[in-house]
Structure 1
Amino acid sequence: MYNHMIVTTTDYIAGYEVVEILGIARGSTVRARNVASDFFAGLKNIVGGEISEYTKLMADAREQALKRMINDASKLNADAVINVRFMTSTVMQGAAEILAYGTAVRLKKIV
């Protein structure tokens, strides 16, 4: 569970039956690089290795997009979001959109 909402990449949830499909739940954020990150990334480019500043930036962006998707699903009175996916696209040079989306559903516990 994620903040009392089940979020999964699968199309079913063990122990539950999907009783209503409410629609697509989505959340996104657009993030831009900053000068300090670019400077350290340039240094890493010379010596090699992970660019941890960008890794953290993308992890934070995915988390924010996921939270926004869950908020969108909550507005639909969903119990869960199934088939969750992430997508990224370049918006402009140095900025990317992270999109989280899935199917908002209502569930019934199987007894």
Structure 2
Amino acid sequence: MLITTTENIVGYAVKEVLGQVFGVTVRSRGIGGNLTAAFRSLAGGEIHEYTEMLEDARKTAIDRMVKNAQAMGANAVVMMRFDSSELGQNMSEVVAYGTAVTVQTSGE
């Protein structure tokens, strides 16, 4: 599955636009992770526990988006973006979304 943040893919032509596609996940840090992160925040700098959680959330959101795109018959997603928001005090929502399309190499 080709995934791009651009409208066009160099060397490929869009043959069919299948529609919007997305993948979403909601994550929460456990009490231990929250306490560790709270102590790290006192010293400043990167909070690795949250960085890892959000990286995993983005990967999961992309995987779910790809699964949905494949179910629609797509072989690519163009204009892919991420969105995120806080839900409550300790949950984060991450959404990967874009346009599901079928593409083929420009020479075909």
TM-score category of the 2 structures, normalised to the smaller one: over 0.9
CA–CA distance in 2 between the matches of 1:49 and 1:16? 42
- Number of residues paired by the alignment? 107
- 1:60, distance to aligned residue in structure 2 (A): 0.2
2:86 match: 90
Query: Cα RMSD between the aligned structures?
Result: 0.8
Does 1:39 pair with 2:35?
A: yes
- 1:72, distance to aligned residue in structure 2 (A): 0.4
Relative to the length of structure 1, the TM-score reads: 0.92
Matching of residues 66-105 of structure 1 within 5 Å:
66-105=62-101
Q: Structure 2 stretches of 5 or more lacking a match?
A: none
CA–CA distance in 2 between the matches of 1:29 and 1:45? 25
User: Where do 4+ consecutive residues of structure 1 move more than 6 Å?
Assistant: none
| % identical aligned pairs | 42
Q: Structure 1 stretches of 5 or more lacking a match?
A: none
- 1:95, distance to aligned residue in structure 2 (A): 0.7
Does 1:61 pair with 2:54?
A: no
Relative to the length of structure 2, the TM-score reads: 0.95
